[in-house]
Amino acid sequence: MIDMDSVICDLMSEWHRRYNRDYDDDLTVDRLQCWESERYVKPECGLRIYDYLKEPGLFLGLKPLPFALEVLERLHNKHHIFIVTSSVSTAYAEKECWVEQHLPFIGRKNLIFAHRKDMIVGDLLFDDAPHNLLGFSATGRTAVAMDYPYNRDVNVPRVKSWLEFEKFVNHLWRGE
Ligand SMILES: [Mg+2]
């Protein structure tokens, strides 16, 4: 089970680019020490930081993170891969298009929209959100963190890149 935002897609760069443009700031993901983005933006923005997530076209235009597509294709040949993503519902259609366009071998039929990832059947979750990592690992299954400053307090295996994640998975299921 693979998360989409900030794991497959680089949401933060484009989200922050739009915020920085409008509020004359220089926010980057390195500044986010916890999940609540509103704590790291200018007060005049505050919770409006989340309004960007409802802008048409935002999710459709996101760039893949380095090696995400290549590694997913290799892993897809050996494992059952599902993309499990949670977002504002207005983004669902764009996310379906993104998967069809960039990951046709996975396709929209293996795309699951879920806020409760711990309730989905699967052996392993690769995610960046602290609540998803904690909830999934609490079920006794393996949650792997894509390393970001905002999830460093979560005590699960973590990787800094897709190539590192590929090594982790190959080691976990070596010989199978
Ligand atoms: Mg995410």
Whichever domain contains 83, its CATH number is 3.40.50.1000
C-alpha closest to that of 1 among 80, 105, 70: 80
What is the 2 CA–ligand 1 centroid distance (Å)?
Answer: 9
5 is catalytic: yes
Does residue 41 sit in the same domain as residue 89?
no
Same domain? For 85 and 162 the reply is yes
* pTM confidence score: 0.95
Torsion 84-136-5-170 (CA) sign: negative
Closest CA to 59 of 115, 100, 28: 100
- Report how many domains make up the chain: 2
Residues 74 and 146 in one domain: yes
Domain shared by 168 and 94, yes or no = yes
Determine, yes or no, domain membership for 119: yes
Same domain, 79 and 166: yes
CB under 5 Å of ion ligand 1: residues:
3, 5-6, 128
Per-residue pLDDT of the chain (176 residues; tens, 9 = 90+): 999 999 999 999 999 999 999 999 999 999 999 999 999 999 999 999 999 999 999 999 999 999 999 999 999 999 999 999 998 888 999 999 999 999 999 999 999 999 999 999 999 999 999 999 999 999 999 999 999 999 999 999 999 999 999 999 999 988 65
Residues 35 and 76 in one domain: no
CB neighbour class for 142 (10 Å; exposed up to 12, middle 13-18, buried from 19): middle
Gap from CA of 24 to ligand 1 centroid (Å): 26
Catalytic residue among 5, 25, 147, 153: 5
- 165 and 113 inside one domain: yes
Range of the domain at 19: 11-54
Counting every residue written for the chain, the total comes to: 176
Q: Could you tell me the distance, in angstroms and rounded to a whole number, from the CA of residue 9 to the centre of ligand 1?
A: 9
